[in-house]
A and B are shown apart, each in its own frame.
Chain A
Amino acid sequence: MSDRQDRQNPYQPHLARIVRILPQIPDHRLFQLRFEDDEVARNFKHRPGQFVELSVLGTGEAPISISSSPTRPGTLELCVRKVGRVTEALFRLGVDAVIGIRGPYGNGYPVEEMEGHNLLLVAGGLGMAPLRSLLWYAMDNRSKFKDIILMYGARVPGDMLFKYELLGLLDQPDIKCLLTVDRDDTGRWPAHIGVVPKLFDKVELDPKTTIAAVCGPPVMYKFVLQKLLERNFSKDHILMSLERKMKCGVGKCGHCAIGYKYTCLDGPIFTYWDVINLPEVV
């Protein structure tokens, strides 16, 4: 397959090798990938919040957020939950297996516009996957941002993604890392207990200088949005990541359309203002 055709056809995946698999919590794994072709690897530039289309030979494709930060190139990291055909086939593969990747797609976070602001990252469950890319992007460009606050909640300690990496941030001076679990069955949980919205009582937030990036299940959105609006956050300063069925990732197959937007092109990151203007969004 010639490289030119390769680049011209946006549907054709590039081969990528699984270099490491890091088990996370039940049914969730972090896959570290490296493109087989050096040129493809060099040309792959992403923004936090973008996603790729992942193919497992013969089973199809699935859109997956990029969990690694562009500030840490070399391998691409995807945190995947096993739910259906493609993801189950992926979980059957081991290190050294080859899969297909195309992308990056979507708008990603407007990181340039976020510079000079305080960042509030709020995640629930698998919502940490895209936010982890933004988190490390901001930490690696620390001087460009003011205060960084991370709020992340899981049901129990054993359900927390990237747990050890995030626990390591608890006593770091340049980030306020608030981790919470709904309940602690271990008795050894070193951080907060309770739902994510309750963490808002623990911080001072200046809505004028803070941009919030929220990603999590629908219930979490509901209560977190309430907290942010109570604190007078402008609707443009609340960024949400939306999930839709996707087949092409490039604005052709129609599946991800919501009202006037394509989630794959215009999103998946939308401001809350965009979201309230989109019909049937939740």
Chain B
Amino acid sequence: MRIVTLPKDNLVPFLESTKAFGELHAPLRRGEESCALGKVDNAADIQVGCLRTILPPKKYFMPQEQTMFSFSPEGYEPVAEEAGKRYVLFGLHPCDIHGLKILDLVFSGKYTDPYYFERRKHVAIIGLDCIPDEYCFCDSMGTSFAEDGFDLFLNDIGDRYLVMVGTSLGDDMVNASARLFGEVDETAKEEFKRRSNTRREHFAVEVETWGLPEIFDMEYESPLWREAGERCLSCGACSMVCPTCYCYDVLDLLELNAEKGVRKRRWDSCLFKDYALVAGGHNFRKERSSRVKNRFFHKQRGFVAEYGRPACTGCGRCIVDCPAQINIVELITKLRSYSHV
């Protein structure tokens, strides 16, 4: 992999220069303490220290609401949506890069989702390393380090970044502003190694994943699920903020003349009451506890069976945002130790 360095003072000019490759989006201040990914007018406004954006980057690849096609009595027509518009997304941490790689698994396979991959093709990703806080457990989920899935990745090494060039597009971005970059020298290497050797120490929480799918099977009837269900408000916030929750609902909207219309899809949540409700009134997951359980079971058990890895990046968003304080780390820890309590 090509590796270069970027002095921190050159970050803003470099990010400005990436606008030649697409509309620049990055974490911007939203309210007192939060950051959200949004369009950058002035690269100096970017919140480089932002740890967790409110919504994960999935919103760029599967928007909250999206038109799939239009229809009329003549047939179904694809809609040319912002055709070819390019974006540069800066500031994605390793867990969110892994979140996208997990979505890639879901949207590829036997049937390819054209909307998702069309957008995926048009977004350049510049990753950035981070220092975990008390909610991060990416290390446990194997997502604290990204070896691919980015065009460029910036590692903080004090007064410079060590920049990994992941793709030919990333290489073009570096070359377009070559004067801002420097070579890798011994001090840069040393500083990178020093920081990576001590990075683990920053993790306050940890979950053991070994045997976790089996434990989910064993503890399927655990009263812990009922307790969580009694607290859950079915608000769906946990799914909306999750970088790997991809469920969607489909709806047809008719124009007033009732002849033409569009089919749309929008984010759905398996926590919503009517998620598994079918014609005739039968609901396969009527109980709130069965819905809370289903979400975690699917991420930590079902997905492992299907794709060989959990569908959780350990980003901590669902823990931070749950109004009922339902905490996956706590739940896993209790499930693991349940018989001993």
Contact = CB atoms under 8 A, between A and B. Distances in A.
Interface stretch (B17-25, B187-195, B246-254, B333-341): B246-254
B279 A250 contact: no
A139 interface: no
B68 interface: yes
Interface in A223-282: 243-245, 247-248, 250-255, 257-262, 265, 279-280
8 A-B pairs with least C-beta separation: A254-B247, A260-B305, A250-B111, A83-B279, A260-B302, A58-B254, A10-B111, A84-B279
A47 B62 CA distance: 32
Nearest to A265: B110
B232 to A, nearest CB: 17
Contacts of B110: 250-251, 265
B111 A251 contact: yes
Nearest to B109: A251
Contacts of B305: 260
A245 B272 CA distance: 14
B285 interface: yes
Interface stretch (B70-78, B136-144, B313-321): B70-78
Nearest to A266: B306
A260 B306 contact: yes
B277 interface: yes
B301 interface: yes
Chain B interface size range: 35 or more
B285 A57 contact: no
A78 to B, nearest CB: 15
Contacts of B71: 55, 57-58, 100
A61 B250 CA distance: 8
B278 A243 contact: yes
Interface residues of A, number: 40
B167 interface: no
15 contacts: A1-B75, A1-B78, A10-B114, A57-B73, A58-B252, A60-B250, A245-B277, A245-B284, A247-B248, A250-B111, A251-B111, A252-B106, A259-B298, A262-B306, A280-B290
The winner among B106, B114, B252 for most chain A CB atoms within 10 A is: B252
B261 interface: yes
A279 B69 contact: no
A250 B248 CA distance: 12
Interface in B175-202: none
A60 B68 CA distance: 12
B69 to A, nearest CB: 6
A131 interface: no
A11 interface: yes
A29 to B, nearest CB: 16
A253 B297 contact: no
Nearest to A282: B284
Given A55-B252, A250-B110, 13 more contacts: A10-B112, A57-B71, A57-B261, A60-B251, A245-B278, A247-B249, A250-B111, A251-B109, A252-B107, A254-B246, A257-B294, A259-B298, A261-B306
A209 interface: no
Given A60-B251, A245-B278, A250-B110, A257 B78 contact: no
Contacts of B294: 257, 280
Nearest to A100: B76
The winner among B76, B250, B285, B298 for most chain A CB atoms within 10 A is: B76
B247 A253 contact: yes
B19 to A, nearest CB: 31
B301 A259 contact: yes
Contacts of B297: 259, 279
Given A259-B301, A260-B301, A253 B278 contact: no
Interface in B97-129: 106-107, 109-114
Nearest to B68: A11
A13 interface: yes
B145 interface: no
A139 B254 CA distance: 44
